[in-house]
């Protein structure tokens, strides 16, 4: 996955080691609105790159946190099941995660537990938030308290990619938390993974 020559340069995880670069992943079921949220936040500021073999769209963004400029890569993933084998590359070296569900479809809320479980297998500690999207379709949803976020002690947001409610706030909070996490990481998973890769690599050569 991370070996030289095998990866598209934009997906080379080594670049996320630089102090001023963070990687934020956006997860959730098909059609919950992950891509529409990205587009709403970035407007048409940046042209995304489609990585169809990875079932992923990469958005590059420059943000200001405190007095620093931070290069943010958003990994907008696809919810379809047939891309499940790609998931480990999404999680790898991510600094924060945005988990989205659709307030009109219960199944997308129920599936959060699946997404979250998988996320925590790879990234036990990264900041994560829960996003209830499409509130424009049913404003009453904002009067319901969805327990999932509370139970896992995650910040949650009621948003609409259509009318823009709370989209910018949610992204800015997440970028800030990604940067804070990066300065003070507690996940050791990457190192372990890297070591494994080196081993796999050297045994291939031998």
Ligand X SMILES: Nc1nc2c(ncn2[C@@H]2O[C@H](COP(=O)(O)OP(=O)(O)OP(=O)(O)O)[C@@H](O)[C@H]2O)c(=O)[nH]1
Interface residues toward Mg ion, by CB under 5 A: 34-35
CA dihedral 136, 142, 147, 149 (to 10 degrees): 60
| Residue 34 is a binding residue for ligand X (CB under 6 A) | yes
DSSP string, 43-106: TTSS--EEEGGGTEEEEEEEEEETTEEEEEEEEEE---GGGGGGHHHHHTT--EEEEEEETT-H
Helices 34-42 & 167-183 angle (0-180, nearest 10): 90
- Secondary structure, 3-state, 105-143: CHHHHHCHHHHHHHHHHHCCCCCEEEEEECHHHCHHHHH
* 85-144 binders of other proteins (CB under 8 A): 104-107, 109-114, 116-117, 136-137, 142-144
Whichever of 21 and 162 has its CB closer to ligand X, that residue is 162
Rounded CA-CA distance 171/177 in Å is: 10
Tokens (6 digits) for 171: 């992204």
* Owner of token pair 């949650």: 156
Site string for ligand X, 148-187 (x = CB under 6 A): ------------xxx-------------------------
Site string for ligand X, 116-155 (x = CB under 6 A): -----------------xx-xx------------------
Task: Count the site residues for ligand X by CB under 6 A.
Answer: 17
| Residue 36 is a binding residue for other proteins (CB under 8 A) | yes
DSSP secondary-structure letter at 9? G
Nearest distance from C-beta of residue 197 to ligand X, angstroms: 28
Nearest distance from C-beta of residue 137 to ligand X, angstroms: 4
Whichever of 35 and 194 has its CB closer to ligand X, that residue is 35
Residue ranges binding other proteins (CB under 8 A): 29-31, 36, 43-44, 79-81, 104-107, 109-114, 116-117, 136-137, 142-148, 151, 158, 160-169
Residue ranges binding ligand X (CB under 6 A): 28, 30-36, 78-79, 133-134, 136-137, 160-162
């Amino acid at each position: 996955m991370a070996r030289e020559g095998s990866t598209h340069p934009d997906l080379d995880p080594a670049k996320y080691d630089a102090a001023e670069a963070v990687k934020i992943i956006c997860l959730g079921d098909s059609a919950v609105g992950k891509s529409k949220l990205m587009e709403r936040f970035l407007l048409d500021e940046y042209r995304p790159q489609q990585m169809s073999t990875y079932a992923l769209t990469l958005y590059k963004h420059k943000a200001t946190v405190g007095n620093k400029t931070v290069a943010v890569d958003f990994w907008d993933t696809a919810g379809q099941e047939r891309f499940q084998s790609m998931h480990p590359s999404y999680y790898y070296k991510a600094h924060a995660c945005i988990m989205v569900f659709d307030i009109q479809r219960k199944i997308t809320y129920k599936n959060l537990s699946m997404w979250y479980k998988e996320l925590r297998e790879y990234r036990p500690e990264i900041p994560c938030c829960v996003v209830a999207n499409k509130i424009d379709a049913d404003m009453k949803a904002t009067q319901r308290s969805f327990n999932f976020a509370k139970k896992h002690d995650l910040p949650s947001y009621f948003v609409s990619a259509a009318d823009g409610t709370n989209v910018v706030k949610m992204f800015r909070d997440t970028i800030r938390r990604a940067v804070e996490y990066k300065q003070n990481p507690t996940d050791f998973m990457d190192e372990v993974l890297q070591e494994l890769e080196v081993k796999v690599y050297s045994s291939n050569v031998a």
